[in-house]
Chains A and B, each alone.
Chain A
């Protein structure tokens, strides 16, 4: 390689000034963004009333709480906790299934390669977005008003909020599918329904199955917390025990949740491999 001699460099510099001299705006972009981000952060700390005194006092309190959590102990209510855990798992399974079954047909309407007209697609997509924009806990509160306190409200809450998520994911899966199979079905004289059934669904089903399994897993987590607002499951017990400061029971409940989530994780991982093969799992 030829070394760059200073004379060459000067010439290069004069010929390509934009490489050597960055405009001030470009050079200041990153530092000014960092400063802005930091300024908002500091403003946030002040506005949200962070004070070292409160932080220290809280941490000391937190230390006490952690100490009181040991050892985890269910007391005399182990049976009730196990039942609550079963309720939570039921809520997750039913809610996810319900959401998947209802979202599948609707998501067809939001896929570009099935409904080419943006006029029809647009409202369906915004509908999914709106549902997704509302947190599961809020849906739980709404359903409690409708069907009363209890796990049934939890099932419906998870079903509705996942309906939004599934609608988006499924329609994206349909859009990613290969056109060729559909064209083949059409060439052999199939109707629009045949195209979807034999051209699209076989491609999309494994992807969808993987997503549904993943959601069952993540909904186990959501289902543990909707109990906090009264929609059944282990969250109800958890919130109650925290309110009455039974810290040993709290830590036992948290352990139960961790074990349950890990178990679901493991099972759904196995199932995913069984359904779609090891390669397809991203």
Chain B
């Protein structure tokens, strides 16, 4: 059998080789330029952010010893030698943690309902009018981009200190985030059922209710559960600006250097976040099967 690879004459081969070398060189040059630009950006950024490696190395011991102090009780013993002393405020903290969960629950639900109300107006295939779609989209984008805690700061000024400001901030931010995700779900929906329902002379509302909703409701629920997880984390820091929940206790403990309290509260938060993650994951698997995770 003859060789399957045909050998080109040298002259032709040389020009091809040349072209190949050039292409590779061009690619390498582009990569090198990109890397150089990136390094320059990093250097500029490190000047801008006042990065000081000397500080880091001098104080890195502090970082290690900070965790050391976190794990020590007032009397100098390790925290795990005296659990009741470590978790002395267990009841109070658990109540605050409950408040945090409630804040995120109520906020997520409010946000989901608002996002639900808006998403049919924002989706390309169901929106009744282009100008309405544009307006709703910009609105959702706005409330999504402004961080929840900024809303919380403003709401604390308007509604006073307390969990109400936190709930409203989480609700508003979730409206933006869920509104966008819901919109994408609706845009992926099959439009044939809607055509069928419209052909019977049904109104827009009926088309949405019987044509779109049955297809998308599982996706909505799944995204809402996912958002709830995120909001639990977010609600745990809402207290930093006075908007209720366990963050309030945490920030006081950190500012006043009650080290063992800080670690105890952190442990509670982490455990709570774990449990929420696991239980919403379980719920999602139960409700929508294995592929329910978006």
Q: How far is the CB of A262 from chain B (nearest CB, A)?
A: 8
- A245→B157 contact, CB < 8 A: yes
A155 to B160, CA, bound (A): 32
Contacts of A91 in B (CB 8 A): 45, 49
B20 contacts the other chain (CB 8 A): no
Of B45, B56, B153, B270, which contacts A228 at CB under 8 A? B153
Within 8 A of B (CB), among A154-205: 154-156
B145 contacts the other chain (CB 8 A): yes
Contacts of A155 in B (CB 8 A): 49, 51
- B42→A133 contact, CB < 8 A: no
Evaluate whether A54 and B164 lie within 8 angstroms (CB atoms) in the complex, with A48-B99, A65-B158, A86-B48 already known.
yes
Binds B, one of A3-11, A19-27, A117-125, A140-148: A140-148
Of B66, B102, B162, which contacts A146 at CB under 8 A? B66
Q: How far is the CB of A147 from chain B (nearest CB, A)?
A: 5
Of A50, A97, A133, A148, which contacts B269 at CB under 8 A? A133
Residues of chain A at the chain B interface (Cβ within 8 Å)? 37, 40-41, 43-45, 47-50, 54-55, 57-59, 61-62, 65, 86-87, 89-91, 93-94, 97, 129-130, 133-135, 137-138, 141-143, 145-148, 150-152, 154-156, 221-222, 224-225, 228-229, 232, 235, 238-239, 242, 245, 250, 254, 257-258, 261-262
Contacts of A47 in B (CB 8 A): 99, 102
Can you name 9 A-B pairs with beta carbons within 8 Å?
A: A54-B160, A90-B46, A135-B237, A143-B63, A148-B55, A151-B48, A152-B52, A224-B147, A238-B153
Q: How far is the CB of A69 from chain B (nearest CB, A)?
A: 9
Q: How far is the CB of B263 from chain A (nearest CB, A)?
A: 11
B159 contacts the other chain (CB 8 A): yes
Contacts of A150 in B (CB 8 A): 50
Which residue, A94, A134, A145, has most C-beta atoms of chain B within 10 A?
A: A145
Evaluate whether A229 and B167 lie within 8 angstroms (CB atoms) in the complex, with A47-B99, A91-B49 already known.
no
Evaluate whether A93 and B254 lie within 8 angstroms (CB atoms) in the complex, with A40-B105, A147-B59 already known.
no
Q: How far is the CB of A211 from chain B (nearest CB, A)?
A: 16
B179 contacts the other chain (CB 8 A): no
Contacts of A61 in B (CB 8 A): 157-159
Of chain A, the residue at the smallest CB distance from B276 is A133
Contacts of A44 in B (CB 8 A): 102-103, 105-106, 167
Residues of chain B at the chain A interface (Cβ within 8 Å)? 41-42, 44-52, 55-56, 59-60, 62-63, 66, 99, 102-103, 105-106, 109, 142, 145-147, 149-150, 153-155, 157-160, 162-164, 167, 233-234, 236-237, 240-241, 244, 250-251, 254, 266, 269-270, 273-274
- A138→B237 contact, CB < 8 A: yes
A41 to B41, CA, bound (A): 48
Q: How far is the CB of A233 from chain B (nearest CB, A)?
A: 8
A90 to B45, CA, bound (A): 4
A250 to B154, CA, bound (A): 10
Contacts of B240 in A (CB 8 A): 137, 228-229
A237 to B195, CA, bound (A): 52
- B103→A48 contact, CB < 8 A: yes
Having A44-B105, A48-B163, A90-B48, one finds 13 other A-B pairs with CB under 8 Å, namely A48-B102, A48-B103, A48-B167, A54-B159, A55-B159, A86-B48, A133-B269, A135-B236, A145-B62, A146-B62, A229-B240, A238-B150, A242-B154
A55 to B147, CA, bound (A): 22
- A62→B105 contact, CB < 8 A: no
A134 to B33, CA, bound (A): 37
Q: How far is the CB of B27 from chain A (nearest CB, A)?
A: 13
Of chain B, the residue at the smallest CB distance from A41 is B109
A50 to B171, CA, bound (A): 14
A229 to B251, CA, bound (A): 10
A155 to B240, CA, bound (A): 20
- B105→A257 contact, CB < 8 A: no
Contacts of A59 in B (CB 8 A): 158
Q: How far is the CB of A224 from chain B (nearest CB, A)?
A: 6
